[in-house]
Copies of this chain bind each other. A is one copy, B any other.
Amino acid sequence: MRPSSRNVRNPKPTAKSRADEAGAAPQASQPGQRALSVYRALRKAIIEQALSPGMKLPEDAIGDRLGVSRTLVREALGRLSIEGLVELKPNRGASVAYPTLEEARDVFDVRRGLERLVAEMLAGRLTRAQADQLERHVRMEEAALGRDGPESIRLAGEFHIKLVEMTGNALLVRYVEEVSSRCSLILAIYGRPHSSECAVSEHRQLIDALLKGDSRQAADLMDHHLQAVVSRALIAPRVDRDIRDLLGPYAASEGLSPT
């Protein structure tokens, strides 16, 4: 890389052309929030599988593309690695995480525990407006069901995010968002190609239980629902460990391996 010709001091910057490649621009170039933007961009790219599991993530290239220095990229990668979306090996750089099946099981277990808590906290406490919002969301899911695979998957995931946000517990939101992200990554690796993860009917059942205020039933429904997601989408284990190494070259052959 050349000693860069892009200097950031610019009263009329043309910088907007390089930072947003993700559709609607949230525009967050405030001081101290730029690393967060990088983080969100990478996170989104990973979840949407624009960056496949195992793919290398060189600091220079990312910084170049996003218009920031390696420092900020580094910060974002560090955070992603804590969250399990990125693997960070000393002196070897970062790559999109490739969770083992064992890690996958761990994530789903924790997710079930967390979302059961969500169900319990929400049971009997859902306002009419919240229930309506969920109902509308479920209808959108139904509409997208056989028609748009990726959209359907995205909506199914968002249902759970909407739910946890209604608890008003910020920490719980963060944890559920994190496990959801990791689940997306896991399903991208081990999931069946076009299975929508969540049965919409189960979502509707859950809403009913929450409105009824039956805490235990709601929790059990959520539990079974997530259990069903695992059994529906996950393929039975074929190899125990180090699938990573087996599939590393495979992912690379998609066109981004270093020779």
Contact = CB atoms under 8 A, between A and B. Distances in A.
A106 B32 contact: no
Contacts of A82: 79, 82
Contacts of A79: 78-79, 82
A175 interface: yes
Q: How many copies of this protein are present in the complex?
A: 2
List the 9 shortest-distance A-B pairs measured between CB atoms, nearest first: A113-B117, A32-B90, A106-B169, A106-B171, A110-B171, A31-B90, A110-B172, A31-B91, A107-B171
Contacts of A75: 74-75, 78
B116 A113 contact: yes
A112 B110 CA distance: 13
A4 interface: no
Interface of A: 30-33, 71, 74-75, 78-79, 82, 84, 88, 90-91, 103, 106-107, 109-110, 112-114, 116-117, 121, 169-172, 175, 179
Given A90-B30, A170-B103, A117 B110 contact: yes
Contacts of A110: 114, 117, 169, 171-172, 175
A105 B186 CA distance: 32
Contacts of A113: 113-114, 116-117, 172
Given A31-B91, A75-B78, 18 more contacts: A32-B91, A33-B90, A71-B71, A78-B79, A79-B82, A84-B171, A103-B170, A103-B171, A106-B169, A109-B169, A109-B172, A110-B114, A110-B169, A110-B171, A113-B114, A113-B116, A113-B117, A113-B172
